[in-house]
Amino acid sequence: MSSVDEDQEDLTRKERREQARAQRKAVEEAEVASAARKRRLGQLGIVAAVVIVAIVVILIATGGGSSTPTTTGKASEETVALVNSEIGGIPQNGNTIGNPNAPVTIQYFGDLECPVCREFTLGALPTIMQQWVKTGKVKIEYKSLETATREPEVFKTQQVAALAAGKQNLMWNYIELFYHQQGEEGSGYVTEAYLQGLAKQIPALNNAKWMSARNEAALSSQVEAEGQAAASAGFNGTPSFLIGKTGGGMQKLEHISLTDPAPFNEAIEKLLKEG
């Protein structure tokens, strides 16, 4: 074999070694890339799992599910029966409940979404209704003052819905049902379906007339005027009360209890004694 042939054979061997090295390198690089891809996918999976767990925890902590209160079913029937037992048979006129000639008038400034108003309406009010309103000695006027409702448009819509029921002298049925079936404050439960659901629970209410009355500009103006009257009286919280002889001057009723009617009883008795 000549030296030229030996050189060519060496070159071929060298090329083969380089080819093998290149192949090994390619395989190693592919393995490294595959391992890196697996590692990244693993990291992605871990992050995704942590995010999912965190969101589930937030959901549970902030309360899951819909916050729309129920206005149908057995619970609704029981509430309607309770409301009827409390205010059934008492005359109503617009926003007023009680004998039109009652010697004493109470003005109740409230926000239908206000949980404190609910506490009063379900607490002290039934006794006041029983003892003073049913007996014709006191009449109560419901007036709107925005406090708990966070959105003015929603406030006006819900208060007007109650006033529209007042056009059929059923405002207090609507108010009572609203407070009894009140949802969680600030949860946005006051939807059109909720407002109509309340109306449907009042059998005597003509739904078409009620819907039509809700568009009356006078009712919106009334809500605004009552808010201004509350501001003039220095009220910035609900429930707030004015009390006085019917047709006479009204004064603030302070230091009331949400569950105990005693402060109301004292003020009413005092006014009745004055004649």
Partner 1 sequence: MSAQALRKTLIVFAAIGVCLGAYLTYVHYSGVTPPCSIKGNPCSQVQKSKYSELVGVPVALMGLIGYIAILASLLAPDSERMRFATMAFALGGFGFSMYLTYRELFTLHKICEWCVGSAVIITIIMCLSVWRFLLGDTPSPGPAEATLDQSAPAGVA
Task: Pick from 7, 9, 15, 151 the residue near partner 1 by CB under 8 A.
Answer: 151
Asked if residue 48 binds partner 1 (CB under 8 A), the reply is: yes
Task: Pick from 191, 207, 257, 259 the residue near partner 1 by CB under 8 A.
Answer: 191
Question: Residue 132: CB partners within 8 Å, gap ≥ 6?
Answer: 104, 138, 264, 265, 268
The structure tokens listed for 191 are: 């939807």
Pairing of strands 104-110, 96-97: unpaired
Task: Pick from 27, 30, 51, 211 the residue near partner 1 by CB under 8 A.
Answer: 51
Nearer residue to partner 1 within complex by CB, 63 or 234: 63
Q: Hey, what amino acid is at 244?
A: G
| 2, HSE (Cβ side, Cα atoms, 13 Å) | 3
Please count the other Cβ atoms lying within 10 Å of the Cβ belonging to residue 191. 13
Nearer residue to partner 1 within complex by CB, 36 or 81: 36
Asked if residue 65 binds partner 1 (CB under 8 A), the reply is: yes
Give the x/- contact pattern for partner 1 in 99-138, rule: CB under 8 A. Answer: ----------------------------------------
Asked if residue 62 binds partner 1 (CB under 8 A), the reply is: yes
Task: Pick from 2, 3, 66, 232 the residue near partner 1 by CB under 8 A.
Answer: 66
Q: Please list the helix, strand and coil fractions of the chain in percent, rounded to the nearest 5, in that order.
A: 60, 10, 30
Nearer residue to partner 1 within complex by CB, 11 or 47: 47
Asked if residue 22 binds partner 1 (CB under 8 A), the reply is: no
If phi > 0 it is left, if psi is from -120 to 50 it is alpha, else beta; for residue 136 that is: left
Question: Of 14-22, 100-108, 145-153, 234-242, which part binds partner 1 (CB under 8 A)?
Answer: 145-153
Instruction: Report 167-186 residues binding partner 1 (CB under 8 A).
Output: 184-186
Q: Pick the closest to residue 271 from 242, 247, 241, 244 (CA basis).
A: 244
Q: Which residue bears the tokens 């008038």?
A: 105
- Dihedral sign for Cα 102, 105, 109, 114, please: negative
Residues contributing to the site for partner 1 (CB under 8 A): 33, 36-37, 40-41, 43-44, 47-48, 51-52, 54-55, 58-59, 62, 65-68, 150-151, 153-154, 184-188, 191
